[in-house]
Amino acid sequence: MSDFLSTMAESSHLRADEARGRIGVTGLAARASSARPVVPLDLSENGFDLIGEVKLASPADGQLVTVDDPGRRVQELASLYEDADVAVISVLTEPSRFRGNLDHLEATAVAVEVPVMRKDFLVDPIQVIEARAAGASGVLLIARLTEASLLAEMTDTAIGFGMFVLVEIFDQTDLDRISVVFDREILIGVNTRDLTTLKVQPGRLADLAPHLPDHLPGVAESGVKSPDDAEAAARLGYRLALVGTALVTSEAPGETTRRLIAAGRRAISKRSAS
């Protein structure tokens, strides 16, 4: 595990312990059971979809949003993504490096009708329950942060609430580790960012694509910034792309979203016709 990921995991454990001490599993589960209903994941028949990500900052790019009311900007971006036909809206809730929090997740879930996913460095099932209590319909789980048995437990916790799960991997070792959940209906995300240098390694998408299970939708993560990038991911067989920085920093986030989706679907159409 890289130093960056270790630091994020340590911080996440502290946040999980704080939630357990402040509210407890029982209290959070009660909130989760009475939260806004889960919005089912509904992938397009056109073969390519986008997960639009809302984040205020990132370790690789620094501060992305400079407004007086970042919470309002989160909702504005989410609404623009929804209007542009994203399948999912991903909300960063990590506070120290991404300036996120659960309030942003809850506000987004209220503002849109598409599924909202919690993206964070989750290390404990209580954080999955916490996400559902805040209105999330899905969660991202990073394979490298947990043992296989804990990954399976967290996945089952989410599925038990009717949520979808995006399991993120970085290499073949991660892919082997998550075979324990191949029988669940999950998404598999391939993150192309090197966790030591924080630079994108786009070749990772091509390297791992042939090894992904055929029955589980693949998600291209990090580095999809242009229609050409979206088209390349779709040609490799990825059903979705998760895009954050390119949308958040765009002068026209909705139009950028539409262009990325259209490019991916053109690639799928060409593949089907050939």
Whichever domain contains 7, its CATH number is 3.20.20.70
Poorest-pLDDT segment among 64-78, 80-94, 134-148, 215-229: 64-78
**Helix ranges restricted to H, 112-252:** 125-133, 148-160, 172-177, 203-208, 227-235, 245-248
To the nearest whole number, what is the mean pLDDT of the chain?
Answer: 93
> What tokens appear for 130 in the block?
């916490």
Dist CA 232 CA 230 (whole Å): 5
Residues spanned by the domain of 113: 3-273
C-alpha dihedral sign at 102, 106, 108, 109:
positive
pLDDT tens, residue by residue, 207-257: 999 999 999 999 999 989 999 999 999 999 999 999 998 999 999 999 999
C-alpha dihedral sign at 248, 249, 250, 251:
positive
Torsions phi, psi of 160, nearest 5?
-60, -30
Dist CA 88 CA 115 (whole Å): 5
pLDDT tens, residue by residue, 161-213: 999 999 999 999 999 999 999 999 999 999 998 877 888 898 999 999 999 99
Query: Residue 143 above 80 pLDDT?
Result: yes
pTM given for the model: 0.95
Q: How many domains does the chain have?
A: 1
Question: Token match 């998550």: residue?
Answer: 178
